Chain A
Amino acid sequence: MQPLKRVRSRTVVLASSNVDTDQIIPARFLTTTTKEGLGRQLFADWRYLADGIPNPEFVLNQAAARDCSVLVAGRNFGCGSSREHAPWALLDYGIRAVISTEIADIFRTNSLKNGLLPVTVDEATAAWLLAHPGAEVDIDLETARLTLPSGASVSFPIEAFARHCLLNGVDELGYLRSKLGDIERFEAARSVPGAGSCTP
């Protein structure tokens, strides 16, 4: 994975709360067996009219949204299914960070694994961002701070390990595999009768 240190962009605003993964990428597009090319189907049911023509009312189809790589959304973004196709679709489209007051657990985990930054902020910051589409923001992963056009900045929570992996392009599977010795010892200890072993 490419190291990710900073995202600077104008924002595109999707004010709805509880934007679920079925909106981000509808289930009928999950019959793919790869990660590539899902950006075309991002928000498909909102983005396209029945005949496949882009819906001019949808925010991503408007000129101001072009080249924006930060999505500001209402509360509880990414709720619903575990489909990693949701962050894959956002990344393939060109989104690099999502800002909300609340981001659903599985979507957040999946995003961090793919280099899409989940940025949770306080109500006041979110309200300002929702009211100011196109605002130029600066998200610095090194300091875990989001800076607004006014120069004011707020910190956002991010797990130390995920931050380390993103900043350095560390592959989490490589890290896990470096613990195989510990995993083998754990398995050996559990296979002793009475040690609480479970066999599927």
Chain B
Amino acid sequence: MTARTLFEKVWTAHEVLAQTPETPAVLYVDLHLIHEVTSPQAFSVLKSLGLPVRRPERTLATMDHSTPTRTEQVFGEVPIALDAAARQVRELERNAAEFGVELFGMRDSRRGIVHVISPELGATQPGMTIVCGDSHTSTHGAFGALAFGIGSTEVGHVLATQCLLQRKPKTFAVNVEGKLPLGVTAKDLILAIIGRVGVSGGTGHVIEYRGSTIRALSMEQRMTVCNMSIEAGARAGMIAPDDTTFAYLEGRPRAPRGAEWHAAVARWQGLATDAGAPFGASVDIDAATLEPMITYGTNPGMVVPISAPIPRSTGDAAYDKALGYMGFHGGDAMLDKPVNVVFIGSCTNGRLEDLEAAARILKGRKVAPGVHLLIVPGSQQVKREAEKAGLDEIFKSAGADWRESGCSMCLGMNGDTVAAGQYSVSTSNRNFEGRQGVGARTLLVSPLTAAASAVRGRITDPRGLL
């Protein structure tokens, strides 16, 4: 039998019908995650055609994008500030009830960012196909699932048929070897990979992250890496499941149990890419040479090691426009640039290990005067775990703002925004113009760099504070 990649194995196992030159494959979807922003139009299509949700038991809904993070708006009597957001939340409640879809609503203890809650429930499992109307669905690839973002029309297709029409993508191996130096995190690694591959280098491909560095990462770190595959243009990123994966999943509420667990692990162990399986493209990264990374422009590929200067302009108009938007100049040092807002959270860096990393820096320190540090857990479960470990006290003592879970300041559509012209050091995934608010200037970093920069009020290398 020919050697096959992890991707190839998962894809083939879900082909209801293989692709032909004239028709795309019909690909079966094991788990469909939905949220309030990209599902209403899809439910409208079902209603207009009189169709049910075909497999509600494979569908899981939550609300995260447009939901507020202030406790009094989530659990108190203070209404959601944005009327349209409130309507969207109510529409998802109605649709979930009408179509029999399980919903983790506003006050549910299991609510959170869709890409944080599915793994923590154990609903995300190796070998699955997982889709969601959100491009960061690639996060679930950390478990050896084939997981990718889809548009609302496709959300409707999955709701109605549990399948998607898909052309088979190509494969791309990102091989990472060596030990990450102290203070260099999974976020720095994926930013370095995007810097190397480019923001469209992965277009048309599924990335598999491989090598000793990847093997050594925890599940939460692997999720950070796979999460930003889309920022390299790849719809999906995958990591072969191994003992780290199985140890994370065992005992989670929706993971298999007893004899089923052992059968599942045996099956999952066969998913890894076979020796000698060919990839369409590849790059090699030496982890030992990496530094904390920071973006300086308006896409995630505009990234440098934190001690490096901003590259000088070569006369490219788009480059000059990006630096103009950021108020930066080629040749400037990134270190010591002033900071107004620091955001720690999102589906990229809103899990417990991320908060623990921030707490290591913030413990016994204060946020610099004039800096707003917003820390938003990725889910209500992450919030409870953080509070049990006393992290919230460390954050509040430092002067940080500690909130309920949600997408929050990653994208300015829920009331948490950065003002025009302000510099936001953020652990989120996109530094696009206006992403965090009209005119906001975003610098993407790890939770360590974010916390260190909050303490000094300037862009700071966290290695000096560890």
Binding site for B on A (CB under 8 A): 15-18, 20, 22-23, 26-28, 30-35, 45, 50, 74-76, 79-84, 102, 104-106, 109-110, 113-114, 159-161, 164, 172-173, 175-177, 179-180, 182-183, 186-187, 193-194, 196, 198-200
Contacts and interface: CB of A to CB of B under 8 A. Distances in A.
B26 interface: yes
Interface of B: 13, 16-17, 21-24, 26, 28, 30-31, 37-38, 40-41, 44-45, 49, 57-58, 60, 65-66, 82, 84-85, 87-88, 91, 123, 125, 127-128, 133-135, 137, 149-154, 156-157, 160-163, 165, 167, 199-200, 203-204, 230, 233, 235, 254, 256, 263, 267, 299, 301, 317-318, 321, 411-413, 420, 430, 432-435, 438-439
Nearest to A176: B161
Contacts, number: 190
A30 B84 CA distance: 9
Contact of A105 (B40, B133, B204): B204
A36 B223 CA distance: 35
Contacts of A196: 13, 127, 267
Given A176-B163, A198-B128, A81 B438 contact: no
Given A160-B22, A198-B128, A179 B135 contact: no
B413 A31 contact: yes
A86 to B, nearest CB: 9
A127 B58 CA distance: 47
Contact of B26 (A17, A20, A183): A183
Contacts of A193: 263
Contacts of B65: 27, 30
Given A106-B235, A183-B162, A198-B127, A79 B41 contact: no
A161 B267 CA distance: 34
Given A76-B200, A80-B135, 11 more contacts: A18-B199, A30-B65, A80-B432, A83-B38, A84-B151, A110-B153, A164-B22, A176-B157, A180-B161, A183-B28, A183-B163
13 contacts: A22-B435, A31-B413, A75-B200, A76-B203, A81-B134, A82-B38, A106-B230, A113-B151, A172-B153, A172-B157, A183-B26, A200-B31, A200-B254
A90 to B, nearest CB: 13
B318 A74 contact: yes
Nearest to A172: B165
A15 B321 CA distance: 11
